[in-house]
Structure 1
Amino acid sequence: MPSRRPQARRLPSPEELALLVKTLKAGNRPANADYREQSLKLHGWICAKCGREFERENLHLLTVHHKDGNHHHNPKDGSNWENLCVYCHDDEHSRLLLAEYLNG
């Protein structure tokens, strides 16, 4: 009986991989994922905690924090958002973790 060799599989091209990643990311976004742009318009390019102002060059360092922790709760009035710089955002989340730890 002749042995069958497995057929070699073609690896996807970098373009095909990029398209797959883009598709997967899009499927993981909340329906109203444009909340960052909305929050920046509503609350301005300033950190709500430390007051640091941002320019276009460093705007990527300004994040949107969901006050209730639910990234799918995005009311159009922005009441669940506050713009925080990455440092204040990290501090906010570390405080929540510490509080949960201390409360057992």
Structure 2
Amino acid sequence: MQWVQANLSEIRYVSCTGKHNNLIKTLHLKDEKLNYEGSFDELRIFLTSQNFLQIDRGLVVNLEKVDYVNLKKNEVHLKDMDDILKATSIKSKILSEKLAI
């Protein structure tokens, strides 16, 4: 597994976009984005064992950075960020239960 230098506590969320052989994996920090060259599956598995939750096929969010979840719109709002993440309906419910919102 290839690692970029970032503390887990700095990562707000990880996104994976693109198609099969052209995937772009990005670590979203508060004020910057870092590209990740390794396997998204390996990164996802590691992060979900560390207080992160996969909320959609290509999105893994740091539970400590979630401000609130809008269950009607399946939106995840992060602390100190304007980014609004779309989650699947079941993951929205799981996330809100984990956060006791």
Calculate the TM-score normalised by the size of structure 1. 0.23
Structure with greater helix share of residues? 1
Structure with greater strand share of residues? 2
